Chain A
Amino acid sequence: MVSKTVFRVHPSINFARLGTSEEYYLSPETSAGLKTDDPNVTGGLPIKPGTENEFITSDDLRDATGNMKRQAARFRLYAYDFEAPDEYPNGGGREITPGDTVFYDGKDREIQTIVWTVHLANKKSAAYNVVNSEGVKAYEGGKVPQLRNPEIYGNIDAPTRLRTLMIDPGPRAIKSDSQKTINFNSKGVCYCGQDGAIKAIKNYPTSFPSDTNSELYQPSGTLDSLGQMKVDEKGRLLVLTGLGNTAAIYDEYGDPMPLTGDLNNAGWWDDGADGPVSSTVVFKDGAVAEAFGGWVVCTDPSYAPQIRNITSVWDDAFDVWVQELDLMPELYKNNAFVETYQPSFFTDIRPIFAAPALQEWTVNLPKFATQAHTKVNQISPQNEPYKTIMSGLSFIRNPNAATPNNPAGETNIGIPLMPLSLGQAGEAFLTVTKTQYFFLEQWNANNFKKTLKGGLNGGEQLDFASLSNCLGGRYVPGVEVSYVIRSTEIYHTDWRTSGSGPFRVKPQPLDYSKAKADEPFLSGGWIPGHDKTDGLQPGDLSKFMAIPWQTDYNSCSIHQTHINTAGVNTSFGNDSTLYWSWPSQRPDAVYRASDVVMNVLPTQAWSIRGPGTFAANAKTASTFQKPLQAVEQWDRIGFVLQGSVIGEGKKYSPQLYLEVESQLDVEGYSDEAVAKWPFNAYVSPPKHK
């Protein structure tokens, strides 16, 4: 087959993060907890705006008024010399910007402009409930969970529901040389046509909560936008979130609708969103080329960006692509991992060993755990595996242990197996992915590459970095994306022949010329396991997340394992023992930088503390005790950053990761003591006879 040039947007999936400031920084392009070019800074840090890759410091987290800055998702365009079948890693590709010359369709052509189109939507309130104990199983066998907001009559596609419950500002397009900031509000709907020109859509049926509600409770500001977009000086796209606003209807007594739980609050909206990012290349000679687009998710702030998840979204996506989408036949073939495959210590093993040592900065680990984690972190490729603390994989929960007689496998075993955090829906504890475990097995068998060779190209590295900075494994429902990231239906599965490359969400083709003012343009959209194979619409990833997101972030700190298993303790341990929900992504216990003296650590403090957080029962520690407070004060929570990037007038060791910029401390309000693990929920002692 003759090669041709294809264009791909990278990262294939990127994340804009909420804040309350008009100011912003850029999405990280390094991977949490891993080495960077700066020996004093580990990966995962966002980037200063206007720079290629200069890390932010603690001074960049909030603006001059104390508002939390947003994280813009930065997208770049890459050109690939493509010849089917494609391989992964591809190893090729180069970033292109206006003015570059590209060999396209038989000749060299200079790029005049790049037109970016983004369509964000928020379908959370119109979607189905998140079911704690079921996860994706709630969609199996033709079933679906209950609808959110069932008092609005109709099925998932009912126009009345969509008009009332969905937030859809419609698409927006921007040229790479634009100086404007485009708003995802109810005005200025436009998109890029096939000829590369931006076309306005006058009749697009935008919808916001205020369209159908004369009065709304909006504690932090009007929810009239899902964000903004602009381009940087090189024509790359920046997608920004809204300002973290929420809205609720009033009940019949004139009160805001009560927040009755963590996941599925009726009568509420937030400004999380997601949608396709398309890119059209317009050449000086008039030719036009359409790139394989990306996807943007507007989501929670990253409160601890350098703390690596032991299993990240990357690990889950990679696992699915390896096992189900033929990503690397040299690694997985004929429904089995290839025993002769040698993982790389640095790219495949090292991330798993690096993550545990970072957990002590966000949760209340006891000394024995931090010491063991440090030992794991010190393992080098030169160490004989059998002489290390990881010998025999004694302390790793095996994800392959399930049998027909024991479907839970090892997911009910707590300590000493790791990770010691809560598992996915229906399972007490988390496991690493099967691919991660295979890599560990190969390492344990001394069958691995000890040198750093090859690796990912620029665009592929961006895909990896973006996804690896997000919470994996425990999608109940998760922080950035949910279990649907493991569904092959959401991706371009023909990646080997189409030129799309892997890890790319397949957008449903949308014909904007058919938009009608009185009819919702988007439908209920894709759901897993229902043979919907025509791709995803805007809002089809974020609709599986909690509504509003703040109540879930607040709640998902510390739990008994039975929260995952329908209230029944299935673990080999005391029912009252508490474990962390999202230990890397959702700081529970932190070290305040202001309390550190000469790099000596103080006692830990809860991340969420201060008035309104006193927990009568340890199971609600580090939590706003009233969910409404979470909606109102999520932006006051501090960030955990490496000592080397903390300003505050003191110098800190890069070995420390400390909390900065919290606005939750109140003078005179005493801290609640943080107990080291194991700690327990309060349960009544047995009654004496």
Chain B
Amino acid sequence: MKLSSDQWTIQHLQDHLQYAVDLEFWTIPFYMAAMYSIKDRSSDAFQLIQTIAHQEMLHVQLVANIGNAYGCKSIKFKPPIYLAHTIPHLDFELDDPDPRDTYKPWSGLIGPMDEKRLNAMLLLEFPLWVEPETIDYHDDVTEYGSIGAFYKAVTVGAAQHADQIKGNRRQVDLFSAYYNNLPQMTIENSGTDGIEAVVLLVKVICEQGEGATKTVRHQIEYPYQNTADDRWPSLTHFSKLEKIQDLFNEDGLPETYPITEPSHYSKQQLEIETNMLKQFDQFRACLESQFNGENPDTFYNEMASTGAAIQNCWKNGVLPKFA
């Protein structure tokens, strides 16, 4: 239900931030699995998705940092669930216009880069089509139609509880070298002195990806652009996906690795699938540890090894499995 601003408690804000982590984290296996299914790594489709996946990792870091600054007891990285027609915490019926009328068929299941996966990504990254005049707050995060609306609410709620900000609490910075024009990616100041940084971090997410509005979606503002490894640094996620859609329309779907029917997996394929699950569990544990005050020395390796395991699944005809 809608809440009035004085009903928006710190707990609501913390819940919203955990939901944001859930959603951002959910996208990573989904994008990476689709990306590694494409045989031609030098194709624009592969490279475009890779840049999005990298930014999703950044967004996980940013929302986790905000959550920690607002005193979340612990940031959870639960095993993501992939269902055919569900994306965590989003109800597209609430979006106006309802993007499902445009992007269909779609699937939220892990799979190769195909029309269903692309449409799911487009739904996920669907911009806030109309800039709302007022911000609605909900106690149930599934009552947001788009991530844009969700983050708009978070921004206002965060400002209301600015006095609760604790700077330098479990702040993690893994990506600032990739964004030379951004002043910071962590929240260093406490109380109301920290609110500008909070707003900045939310703005990064909104500029780059899910929170973009229709009017700005074609051009990410300069400070929020990747400065290292993105050929299309000014394009939002939605614009990048539209670019992939254009490529598919022109050239057809990219060639992807075929997969074996799971019931027919060989012993070796089963081992590869088991290893994928184990590797992803290690990665989750590592993330959880990273954002809860530990400094696991294995974080980068677990991240890289997860990518390697996904690639190896596809090369061996195994559908990557994450839970």
Given the complex of chains A and B, what is the CA–CA distance between A361 and B162 in angstroms?
Answer: 44
Instruction: Check if A574 sits within 8 Å of B41, measured CB to CB.
Output: no
Interface segment among B7-15, B106-114, B241-249, B300-308: the answer is B300-308
Q: Establish whether residues B177 and A386, one from each chain, have CB atoms under 8 Å apart when the complex forms.
A: no
Residue B317, interface by CB 8 Å? no
Closest to B297 in A: A371
Task: Give 1 or 0 for each of A403-420: 1 = CB within 8 Å of chain B CB.
Answer: 000101110111111000
Q: Is the CB of A686 within 8 A of B304?
A: no
Report chain A residues within 8 Å CB of B310: 392, 394
A62 interface residue per 8 A CB criterion: no
Looking at the complex, which one of A390, A406, A415, A573 makes contact with B308 (CB distance below 8 Å)?
A: A390
Shortest CB-to-CB span from B58 to chain A, Å, is: 13
Q: Which of B42, B227, B228, B309 touches A410 (beta carbons < 8 Å)?
A: B42
Task: Indicate if the CB atoms of A572 and B47 lie closer than 8 Å.
Answer: yes
Give the complex CA separation of A372 and B298 in angstroms.
9
Report if A106 contacts B (CB, 8 A).
no
Q: Using a CB-CB cutoff of 8 Å, which residues 322-344 of chain A contact chain B?
A: none
Interface extent on A, as a size class?
Answer: 35 or more
A57 interface contact, C-beta 8 A: no
B312 touches A386 (CB 8 A): yes
Query: Which residues of chain A come closer than 8 Å to B308, judged between CB atoms?
Result: 388-392, 394-395
Is the Cβ of A577 less than 8 Å from the Cβ of B315? no
Whether B300 pairs with A413 at a CB distance below 8 angstroms is: no
Interface flag for B1 (CB, 8 Å): no
Of listed B222, B305, B316, residue having the most chain A CB within 10 A: B305
**How does the 8 Å CB contact mask read for B219-230 relative to A, with 1 for contact and 0 for none?**
000100011111
Task: Give, as a whole number of angstroms, the nearest-CB distance from A430 to chain B.
Answer: 15
| Tally of contacts, chain A with chain B, CB under 8 A | 112
* Given A392-B312, A395-B308, CB of A413 within 8 Å of CB of B42: yes
Contact B42–A408 (Cβ < 8 Å)? yes
Residue B271 at the chain A interface, CB threshold 8 Å: yes
Complex contacts, A395 vs chain B, CB 8 Å: 304, 307-308
Contacting pair A574 B226 (CB below 8 A) = yes
- Does B275 reach chain A (CB closer than 8 Å)? yes
CA distance in complex: A409, B40 (Å): 9
Interface assignment of A669: CB less than 8 Å from any CB of chain B:
no
Closest A residue, CB atoms, query B279: A387
Contacting pair A573 B228 (CB below 8 A):
yes
A83 to B322, CA, bound (A): 59
- Complex: A401 Cα to B174 Cα, angstroms: 31
How far, in Å, is A679 (CB) from chain B's closest CB? 7
A678 touches B233 (CB 8 A): no
Contact in complex: B42, A401 (CB < 8 Å) = yes
Tell whether, in the assembled complex, residue B42 and residue A409 are in contact, meaning their CB atoms are under 8 Å apart. Answer: yes
B304–A577 touching, CB < 8 Å: no
Beta-carbon contact of A371 and B300 below 8 Å: yes
Closest CB in chain A relative to B304 CB, distance in Å: 5
Assess the A416–B227 pair: CB atoms within 8 A: no
Residues of A within 8 A of B47 (CB): 413, 572
A573 to B230, CA, bound (A): 4
Q: Is the CB of A577 within 8 A of B300?
A: no
How far is B174's CA from A369's CA once the two chains are assembled, in angstroms?
12
Contact check, A389 vs B305: say whether CB atoms are below 8 A apart: yes
Q: What per-residue 1/0 map shows which CB atoms of A275-299 lie under 8 Å from chain B?
A: 0000000000000000000000000
**For residue B303, which residue of chain A has the nearest CB?**
A368
Cα A675 to Cα B177 in complex, Å, equals 9
Which B residue's beta carbon lies closest to that of A401?
Answer: B42
Bound together, the chains give a CA A412 to CA B303 distance in angstroms of 23
A375 lies within 8 A of chain B by Cβ? yes
Whether B227 lies near A680 (C-beta < 8 A) is: yes
Closest to A675 in B: B177
Chain B minimum-CB-distance residue to A370: B300
CB distance from B142 to the nearest CB of A (A): 35
Given A372-B304, A577-B227, A676-B177, CB of A410 within 8 Å of CB of B222: no
**B271: chain A residues within 8 A (beta carbon):** 386
Indicate with 1 or 0, residue by residue over B74-102, a CB within 8 angstroms of chain A CB atoms.
Answer: 00000000000000000000000000000
List of B residues within 8 angstroms of A401 by Cβ: 40-42
9 tightest A-B contacts by CB? A392-B312, A392-B311, A368-B300, A678-B228, A394-B311, A391-B308, A394-B308, A391-B312, A573-B229
- A residues apposed to B, CB below 8 Å: 366-369, 371-372, 375, 386-395, 398, 401, 406, 408-410, 412-417, 571-574, 576-577, 675-680, 685-686
- 25 pairs of residues in contact across A and B, judged by CB atoms under 8 Å: A367-B300, A368-B304, A371-B297, A386-B275, A387-B275, A391-B305, A392-B308, A392-B313, A392-B314, A394-B308, A395-B304, A398-B41, A401-B40, A406-B42, A409-B42, A413-B47, A573-B230, A574-B227, A574-B230, A678-B178, A678-B228, A679-B177, A680-B227, A680-B228, A685-B222
Q: A375-B304, A394-B304, A394-B310 are in contact. List 12 more A-B contacts (CB 8 A).
A: A368-B300, A368-B303, A368-B304, A386-B316, A398-B41, A412-B42, A413-B42, A416-B304, A572-B229, A572-B231, A577-B227, A677-B177
